[in-house]
Amino acid sequence: MADWQKITGGITAPRGYQAAGITAGLKPSGLPDLALIFSEVEAIAAGVFTTSQVKAACVEYCRQRLQAKHSARAILCNAGQANAATGTEGYLDTLESAMAVGQALNIPSESVLLASTGVIGQRIKMDALRSGIPKVIAALSETGSDAAAGAIITTDLVTKSIALETTIGERPVRIGGIAKGSGMIHPNMATMLAFVTCDAAVSSVLWQQMLARAADRSFNSITVDGDTSTNDSLIALANGQSRTPAITELGAESEKLEAMLTAVCQHLAKAIARDGEGATCLIEVEVTGAHDELSAQQIAKTIAGSSLVKSAIFGRDPNWGRIAAAAGRAGVPFEQENLQIKLGDFLMLENGQPLQFDRAAASTYLKKAAAGAYLQKDTVLICVNVGNGSGSGKAWGCDLSYDYVRINAEYTT
């Protein structure tokens, strides 16, 4: 049993946070497109960002800000324009955005972090942003998580949100999160944005370390299409408003907090993978028996990211040979005589030898997953064992359908 419980409230469930989402006129569709998350006090801030050499202006800005100052009070996110590959003008737009939020909230601009999502190569519509900032601030509320979650999405079909609560020092501690992502998703952060709030008091060094590990076990373990974006950002705030003793070193309390942080990130990551453009089901790959966790995760990511595996799942074809081939090219040494593959409850390969199995029943298993309840019974489970090592790891992806091509072929038109 997990040492926490699920609660309502999303990003505003932790104490001392407000959020809002409005329509500022940034998206051509006229849908909500500007979100703000605000901490009532200065919060410890940490971030994990895209590894792409082509980075959005907001990514460069946040990296510099967090290197100079490990705290923040506000996160502004615009949807519609990625403001990536926009040169000096795009970066100046980012600086202006932070200054405008800071002035309107009466806080230093250095306490404002930024994120953008949308079409690469397009600068933010600054006239709309300038007029939208006072409106989104006026809309801030302790129940504004859903509105914020709806204002950061682009091709997403659903919003993504969660909040969990545990007890530390005999007091409740909460972590909430929202995310967006549907396409251009691949380990190294994917095209995704995720924002996490926490009301515990944590040292800045520990908080950054916790977030980096949580990202590796969640957002860096999902894939939809093998493409990494220019704007990937995971930003987490911890404002101490739970009034629990500060966590400044490794121990039982830090482990409990990190485990809950990882659970929040994994929920959001799986929601992104399930919402992959054109997807009909979630794929979870679990690898055991590897030399270490890193090796297991590498095999799991390779299987989850295989276009042939993903296509077979969409075709409801229990083609375990594609799983074996993907495991073999992951760059992790193992003896193929030790390889075991299961699809759901169907054992297909044992000790490197193919087994007889009911293909029709296995295909039905895939069909039932595609018809299953969202993030409840819609998961295809692939279990792979590669030996007797202690390393295990998981990765998540989705099937590859005809609609993925259609959605991305028409993205800017």
Tell me how far apart the alpha carbons of residues 350 and 117 are, in angstroms, rounded to a whole number.
45
Tell me how far apart the alpha carbons of residues 238 and 259 are, in angstroms, rounded to a whole number.
15
Closest CA to 276 of 313, 247, 231: 313
Phi, psi of 173 (to 5 degrees): -125, 135
Q: Could you tell me if 224 and 231 are in contact, meaning their C-beta atoms sit under 8 angstroms apart? A: no
413 exposure class (CB count in 10 Å sphere: 0-12, 13-18, 19+): exposed
337 exposure class (CB count in 10 Å sphere: 0-12, 13-18, 19+): exposed
Structure tokens at 158: 């659903």
Tell me how far apart the alpha carbons of residues 239 and 12 are, in angstroms, rounded to a whole number.
12
Beta partners for residue 5, in sequence order: 165
Tell me how far apart the alpha carbons of residues 255 and 342 are, in angstroms, rounded to a whole number.
32
Closest CA to 61 of 100, 8, 98, 22: 98
The residue with tokens 């940490």 is 46
Residue in 191, 223, 244, 288 annotated catalytic: 191
Structure tokens at 250: 């490794």
Helix, strand, coil percent content, the chain, rounded in steps of 5 = 35, 30, 35
Closest CA to 208 of 63, 369, 394: 63
Closest CA to 366 of 378, 354, 375: 378
Residues 407, 412, 413, CA angle at the centre, nearest 5°? 85
- How is residue 239 annotated by DSSP? -
- Is residue 101 left, alpha or beta, with left meaning phi > 0 and alpha meaning psi from -120 to 50? alpha
Tell me how far apart the alpha carbons of residues 378 and 163 are, in angstroms, rounded to a whole number.
22
191 as an active site residue: the answer is yes
**Maximum alpha-carbon separation in the chain:** 69
* Catalytic (active-site) positions: 191
